Chains A and B, each alone.
Chain A
Amino acid sequence: MSETFDVTETLDVKGQSCPMPVVKTKQAIDALEEGDVLEVLATDSGSMSDIEGWAEGTDGVTLLGQADEDGLYTHYVEKTA
């Protein structure tokens, strides 16, 4: 479960609900460089499906992994373009 990635930046959206985790992830990714990895910390259980769907439907990002530990949902998104 605990894969490690070379994280460039961490975005904390704990306590925030839909659509904030996705929208803020997108904004954080926009501010990063190609090859950077964003770690997103969320408590919204919907973020598991939402960030996966967002990464799938958006050009230039790849979802490297997701983890669910005691109500903390962690997402790793790489900016690929």
Chain B
Amino acid sequence: MSTDTPSADAENVADADLETLQERVEDLEGSLADLEAEDDGKKLTIIATKGTFDMAYPPLILASTAAAFDWEVVVFHTFWGLDILHEEKSKDLKISAVGNPTMPMPNVLAALPGMDAMATKMMERKIDQNNTATIEELIELSLDQGVDLQACQMTVELMDYDEEDFYEGVTTGVGAATALQHLAESDVQLLV
């Protein structure tokens, strides 16, 4: 802010300043418009770490629904979460009967052989009766809608999995840095 007394020279300077200022305002307006355009869509990143039947559902349901909102969606699967993307294992995910307070039996019985299989069967029957989508259907649906299902490379190697074990369309060769980048860019971040 200048408090100089006006003179012919000062007026010339003021004109030049005004021009620079106008250019600067136009630049800023441009960047603001770019930012607003970028900020238009929302983004969701989920870190899926669990590979039990019941814990496979929440990330997939949220991911496919967010995609229906036209959000950009990334699900980063790590540790047991990888089993959700594993074509064979995803069809055979189990519920744990032990430590599950909703099971109608004490833990000492739940620990008996065959109890996990029984609990899983019960849940599968419920899902079938209720016409709830299967894990496989939700994966296909998510991929169809452009959800980026990622398999953490470090745990792929740790679990001795192969790229071919996963559903077609799954992103491999990604690590924690990629996950953090997506998390930082997201409006909603979840760890499941």
* Chain A residues proximal to chain B, CB less than 8 Å: 15-20, 22-23, 25-27, 50, 54, 57-59
Contacts and interface: CB of A to CB of B under 8 A. Distances in A.
A22 B131 contact: no
Interface in B36-87: 61, 64-65, 67-70
A19 B64 contact: yes
A19 B70 CA distance: 15
Contacts of B132: 17-18
B61 A16 contact: no
A22 B68 contact: yes
A58 B141 CA distance: 19
Given A54-B69, A57-B69, A58-B69, A19 B131 contact: no
A23 B61 CA distance: 10
In this complex, the interface size class of chain B, counting residues with CB under 8 Å from chain A, is 10 to 19
Contacts of A54: 65, 68-69
Contacts of B145: 23, 26-27
B133 interface: yes
For the residues of A in contact with B, the DSSP-based class is helix
Nearest to A16: B131
A26 B144 CA distance: 12
B70 A59 contact: yes
B68 A25 contact: yes
Contacts of A50: 65
Contacts of B65: 18-19, 22-23, 50, 54
Given A18-B61, A22-B65, 11 more contacts: A17-B133, A19-B61, A19-B65, A19-B133, A19-B138, A23-B64, A26-B68, A26-B69, A27-B145, A54-B65, A58-B68
Contacts of A23: 64-65, 67-68, 141, 145
A17 B130 contact: yes
A22 B69 CA distance: 9
Interface string B129-160: 01111000010010001000000000000000
Between B65, B68, B130, B133, the greatest number of chain A beta carbons within 10 A of the residue's beta carbon is seen for B68
